[in-house]
């Protein structure tokens, strides 16, 4: 199945990949933790430990592509340094044949990356957000458990339910708002088919107001076509917590997009995120293919530091390209599919061209 050379190459790659991943995760956690400890001095260390336990899957997901590049660069550069690459070329093996097992390994990592983002990260992200808003920020009203069809939110003496919310957090469908007194007795219920949110001012359309009074056993109802209410400043935090893609699986996100479309809401950002879950999983493969031709610039002299520098520069270029395409897609300047896949297609084409033009 695998010959001795393949097993040797895979061994080099997986050791370098694991080392790179561990280093990047450690640096990320250490830097972020130091910043958090300085900012939130009154939070217990055990809270941060639990927070980063749930944060680790997301960090791993973000670092996997870079670790793939490091594994590829270190493997080929190690062969370069020991003149083993020259021997492999002399035996008739091409650069593509040598790197075949590396790409197979990276494809396996890409599959794991997608499963991690689709199945594990939504679960861990909810727990991470719960700890962050409740125990670190100490603003529990900003935390919400988002499902595909409804959002519950508490703001001081009111609780409201929204069926669908657009990505910008300024337009909603299906609002039910409950007002309570200081004793938490229900005093008013307000419903609206649609809501435009402009800061603390909310414009409600096509709804009803139901008032409850201890002096009357029957609530009083009043319909309205348009009504403006002033919400507390705290309620404006709904805008920052309306980004739900990281809390949903691929299937849930698909249903969420369809439901928003049926309600007439803008779904561009969610569509970009939907397709990006696929494209980002292959980022490690694309960046490794792009970096590979630069790893053999000096077959005898080694040049490992130079190769690593060049390849990390290519990674930065890829990230700039990828982030720019995402931004254009979210602002409806590019089709969501194009925004998600264009960086991968362009960079893979460039990497393939450079690989084919390599001397070996």
Q: Is residue 121 over pLDDT 70?
A: yes
Tell me if 79 sits within 8 A of 24, measured CB to CB: no
Mean pLDDT lowest among 47-51, 177-181, 244-248: 244-248
Q: Which residues of 106-131 are buried (b: 16+ CB within 10 A; e: fewer)?
A: beebbeebbebbbeebbebbbebbbb
In tens, the pLDDT along 57-95 reads 999 999 999 999 989 888 888 887 777 877 888 887 877
The predicted pLDDT at position 142 comes to 60
| Cα–Cα distances in angstroms (integers) from residue 330 to residues 26, 67, 68, 279, in the given order | 32, 28, 28, 15
Q: What is the pLDDT of residues 230-282, one digit of tens each?
A: 876 555 555 544 456 777 888 888 887 887 776 666 788 889 999 999 999 99
* Highest mean pLDDT pick, 69-83, 157-171, 226-240, 332-346: 332-346
| 300 band by pLDDT with thresholds 50, 70 and 90 | very low
Residues ≥6 apart with Cβ < 8 Å to 137 = none
Helical H runs in 139-247?
Answer: none
Please give the angle made by the CA atoms of 145, 147 and 153, to the nearest 5 degrees.
45
Band of pLDDT at residue 146, cut at 50, 70 and 90? very low
Could you state, in order of their start, the residue ranges of all structural domains in the chain?
Answer: 4-137+264-357, 147-243
- Closest by Cα among 168, 129, 163, 131 to 145: 129
164 has which bridge partners? 173
CA distance 37 to 34: 5
Cα–Cα distance for residue pair 351/72, rounded to 1 Å: 14
Our measurement of the distance from residue 173's CA atom to the centroid of its chain's CA atoms, rounded to an integer in Å, reads 25
Q: What was the pLDDT predicted at 342? A: 94
Whether the pLDDT of residue 310 is over 90: the answer is: no
pLDDT digits (tens, 9 = 90+) for 127-138: 898 888 888 887
* Of residues 114 and 229, more confidently modeled: 114
Residue 304 has pLDDT above 70, yes or no: no
Question: What mean pLDDT do residues 46-50 have?
Answer: 92
Q: What is the layout of strands, in order, in the sheet containing 220-230?
A: 151-155, 158-165, 171-180, 186-198, 201-211, 220-230
pLDDT band of residue 148 (cuts 50, 70, 90) is very low
DSSP annotation of 161 reads E
Q: How far is the C-alpha of 54 from the C-alpha of 128, rounded, in Å?
A: 5
Place of tokens 């307000």: 190
Q: Which two tokens stand for residue 207?
A: 């709804």
Whole-number Cα distances in Å, 235 to 113, 230, 266, 336: 35, 10, 21, 30
For residues 312 and 319, the answer to whether their CB atoms sit within 8 Å is: no
Collapsing DSSP to helix, strand or coil, 240 comes out as coil
* Choice between 184 and 8, residue whose per-residue pLDDT is larger: 8
Query: What is the 3-state secondary structure of 18-38?
Result: HHHHHHHHHHHHHHHHHHHHH
Share of the chain above pLDDT 90, in %: 29
Average pLDDT rounded to a whole number, residues 13-40: 92
User: What is the pLDDT, as a whole number, of residue 245?
Assistant: 75
Q: Which residues contact 253 (CB under 8 A, 6 or more apart)?
A: 245, 270, 273, 274, 277
Amino acid 42: pLDDT: 87
């Amino acid at each position: 199945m695998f010959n001795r050379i393949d097993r040797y190459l895979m061994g080099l790659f997986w050791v370098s990949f694991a080392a790179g991943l561990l280093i990047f995760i450690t640096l990320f956690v250490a830097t972020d933790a130091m910043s958090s400890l300085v900012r939130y001095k009154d939070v217990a260390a055990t809270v941060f430990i639990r927070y980063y336990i749930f944060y680790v899957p997301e960090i791993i997901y973000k670092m996997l592509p870079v670790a793939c590049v490091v594994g590829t660069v270190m493997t080929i550069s190690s062969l370069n340094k020991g003149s083993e690459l020259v021997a492999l070329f002399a035996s008739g093996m091409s650069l593509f044949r040598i790197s075949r097992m590396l790409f197979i390994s990276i494809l396996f990592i890409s599959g794991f990356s997608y499963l991690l983002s689709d199945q594990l990260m939504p679960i861990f992200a909810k727990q991470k957000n719960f700890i962050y808003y409740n125990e670190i920020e100490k603003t529990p009203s900003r935390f919400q458990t988002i499902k595909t069809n409804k959002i519950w939110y508490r703001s001081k003496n009111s609780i409201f339910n929204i069926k669908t919310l657009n990505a910008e957090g300024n337009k909603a469908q299906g609002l039910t708002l409950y007002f309570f007194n200081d004793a938490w007795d229900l005093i008013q219920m307000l419903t609206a088919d649609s809501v435009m949110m402009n800061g603390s001012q909310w414009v409600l359309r096509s709804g009803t107001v139901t008032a409850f009074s201890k002096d009357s056993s029957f609530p009083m109802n009043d319909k309205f076509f348009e009504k403006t209410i002033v919400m507390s400043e705290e309620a404006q935090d709904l805008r920052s917590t309306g980004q739900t893609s990281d809390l949903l699986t691929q299937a849930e996100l698909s249903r969420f997009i369809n439901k928003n479309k049926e309600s007439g809401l803008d779904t561009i950002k969610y569509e970009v995120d939907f397709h990006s879950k696929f494209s980002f999983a292959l980022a490690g493969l694309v960046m490794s293919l792009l970096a590979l031709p630069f790893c053999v610039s000096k077959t005898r002299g080694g040049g490992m530091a130079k190769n690593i520098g060049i390849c990390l520069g290519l990674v930065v270029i890829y990230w700039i390209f990828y982030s720019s395409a995402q931004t254009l897609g979210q602002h409806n300047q590019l089709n969501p599919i194009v925004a998600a896949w264009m960086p991968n297609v362009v960079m893979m084409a460039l990497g393939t061209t450079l690989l084919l033009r390599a001397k070996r």
